[in-house]
Structure 1
Amino acid sequence: MSAVRTVLGDVPAEQLGMCDAHDHLFFGSPRLPGQELRDVSAARAELAAFRALGGAAVVQWTPYGLGRRAADLPPLSRDTGVHVVAATGLHQAVHYDEETLGGLRGRLAEVFVAELTDGIGASGVRAGLVKVAGGFHALDAHARWTMTAAAEAHHATGAPIAVHLELGTAALDVLDLLCGELGVPPHRVVLGHLNRSPDPVVHRQAARAGCYLAFDGPSRAHHATDWRMPDAVRALAEAGFGDRLLLGGDTTTAAARSVNGGPGMPYLLRRVAPRLAVELGEDLVGRVLTENPRRAFAANWR
């Protein structure tokens, strides 16, 4: 049976509810010193604020080695009533030291599969997706290594693969590798950050391939994420790809949380969804927030 693998167990896809398809409760990278998401109380408050606006599910894209705090996710989900999906996977090489990467050589796919099926470390929490990352307009050796392992994990488990596109670029290179060379079905791939490179031709090509397109990141400055997104999303909907669209907040710093004065998770439902409803109509926006994530993140788990 098709189910979404949450931190509290597998949930029938139709029970997922209103979903933030790309966000972070916990995250820490040496590239963002002093801005880590580590506070459990703040994470709980953020989830509660999201829930108060009708939010029912959050997909956390924090991968291996970047402060997932997997053991803290189940009680947060129980306390707030919000489904939480955790990730395995690996980000760009710049987020890790050489010792960490060296320890994963020759066994990366094995680690991904174990975290999807047995659990993350000693937490017992199973990941529900694999998150990997491309580079700026290209895929380096690290990206090819991680995506090859992600494809192996998908073939072993059925897990969806979510991809960080650096500034929204290299979408077609990712699809050529994952779906072309490595045989991952396009509908098992979610491309993130497409709002950061508002190229309508590339967007249509990616959607036509059959993958999901995530427009995320209103918590970010300097990416024109809010004012360009309605046009990009409307163009895809008018071209017949409304069923390929996903929306997320991608909160990656403590300052961006709503409980700390930023937009945070609630902004997706408080401002982004109503703004898009003006362009697309409430019915389509509702389906983008509910039906599309059910299909994107559910799997027939093996």
Structure 2
Amino acid sequence: MSTVRTVLGDVAPEQLGVTDAHDHLFLRMPRLAGEELDDQDAAIAELAAFRDAGGDTVIHWTPHGLGRRAGDLVAVSEAAGAHVVAATGLHQEAHYDPQLLAGLRSGLAELFVTELTEGIEGEGPATPRAGMIKVAGDFHSLSRHTRWVMTAAAEAHRETGATIGVHLERGTAAALVVDLLCVRLGVPPAKVVLGHLNRSPDLGMYHEVAAAGVFLAFDGPSRANHESDWRLFESLVALAEFGCSDRLLFGGDTTTASARAATDGGPGMPYLLSTMRPRLTSELGEDVVRRMMVTNPARAFANDWR
């Protein structure tokens, strides 16, 4: 039976409810020095604000080695009253100490499998299991590091059934990722989620990867340094008209402390529901928006765990 692996245990897909399909409660990266997401009370407040706006689940895409604090996600989930799905995986090479990567060189797939099946150790008082694998592409290319990580992710998928979520750098290299993961490494397209597609509004590319059968995640709305919301709506309307509404996902991708709504920043997690959902409903209709926020996430992150 398919279930979604949350930090509090496996749940039926229909229990996810309204889902933020790509976000972060804890995150620490050198490029974001001074903006770390490392305050547990702030994480609880942000998740509770999302819940109060009508949200039920957040997919937490922070991978191994980037301040994920998986052991603290249990307390955050319990305190806020919302589901959280944690991630294993690795980001781009630039985000890590070379010594850490060298230590993983011969056992990366095993690490992913362990965190998915046994639990994530050393990141807080609890040892929750990860419920997805996060990997990352490069700008219009796939580096040697990226191919190594994606190959390990594909192996871990084969052993566990876990969904693979992909950070697309500025929304690029989507076709290369699909070719590597799905064609060359044999990961079923329905087990691949492509993130950040809104950052490169290329309808031809959207159609190409949608036809392959992967899930298409549009996340991080209302950022001045990315494509603005009007391009987001334009893209989603086009994809819905193309018949892809059963593969669309929506998320916030909150990556900095100043972007949290609960601590007087923004737009934050609640923005998806307080501002974006009414506008999406007006543009796409209630049925499509429900697919994006309820039905599709339940399909994308539910797995027959092995």
The normalised TM-score by structure 1 is 0.99
Which AA in structure 2 matches 1:293? P
Please point out which of 246, 265, 287 is paired with 1:243: 246
Shift of 1:218: 2.0
- Which of 259, 267, 270 is equivalent to 2:271? 267
Aligned counterparts, 1:1-302, within 5 A:
1-122=1-122, 123-218=126-221, 220-260=223-263, 261-302=265-306
Q: Which amino acid aligns with 1:299?
A: N
Give the 3-state SS of the residue equivalent to 1:124 in structure 2.
coil
Deviates more, 1:216-225 or 1:197-206: 216-225
**Partner Cα distance (2:96, 2:158) in 1:** 26
Contact persistence 1:196–1:224 (CA under 8 A):
yes
Q: Give, in whole Å, the separation in 2 of the partners of 1:286 and 1:243.
A: 10
Displacement over 4 Å in runs of 4+: none
Task: Give the residue type in structure 1 aligned to 2:121.
Answer: G
Tell me, what secondary structure is at the counterpart of 1:299? coil
- Indicate if the aligned counterparts of 1:29 and 1:66 stay in contact, CA closer than 8 A: yes
Q: Secondary structure at the residue paired with 1:148?
A: helix
Q: Secondary structure at the match of 2:30?
A: coil
CA–CA distance in structure 2, aligned partners of residues 280 and 294 of structure 1: 20
CA contact (8 A) 2:222 2:229 kept: no
Opposite residue 263 of structure 1, the aligned amino acid is: P
1:216 touches 1:225 (CA, 8 Å); kept in 2? Answer: no
What's the offset of the Cα at 1:220? 3.3
In structure 2, C-alpha distance between the alignment counterparts of 1:150 and 1:202, rounded to whole Å: 24
Contact persistence 1:60–1:84 (CA under 8 A): yes
Q: Can you list the C-alpha shifts for 1:148-200, whole angstroms capped at 9, x where unaligned? A: 00000000000000000000000000000000110000000000000000000
What displacement does 1:81 show?
A: 1.4
Distance, in Å, in 2 between the alignment partners of 1:221 and 1:19 is 24
Once residues 134 and 228 of structure 2 are traced to their aligned partners in structure 1, the CA distance between those partners, rounded to angstroms, is 21
**SS of alignment partner, residue 178 of structure 1:** helix
Gaps of 5+ in 2: none
1:212-236: per-residue Cα shift (whole Å, max 9, x none)? 0000002633102412110101101
> What is the rounded CA distance, in whole Å, between the counterparts of 2:84 and 2:199 in structure 1?
25
Q: Which amino acid aligns with 2:15?
A: Q
Amino acid paired to 1:109: A
| Per-residue deviation, 1:96 | 0.4
Q: Distance in 2 between matches of 1:104 and 1:32?
A: 24
Preserved CA contact (<8 Å) 1:219 1:264: no
Matched-pair contact (CA < 8 Å) for 2:71–2:121: no
> How far is 1:202 from its partner?
0.5
Percent identical residues: 65
Verify the 8 A CA contact 1:219 1:251 in the aligned structure 2: no
- Counterpart-to-counterpart distance in 2, 1:141 and 1:274: 42
- Contact between 2:24 and 2:60, CA under 8 Å: does it hold in 1? yes
Helix, strand or coil: the match of 1:22?
Answer: strand
Where does structure 1 lack aligned partners over 5 or more consecutive residues?
A: none
TM-score, normalised via structure 2 length: 0.97
Post-superposition Cα deviations, 1:87-112, rounded to whole Å, max 9, x if no partner, equal 00000001001111111001000000
- Whole-angstrom CA distance in 2 between matches of 1:105 and 1:81: 38
Q: What one-letter code is carried by the residue in structure 1 that aligns with 2:188?
A: P
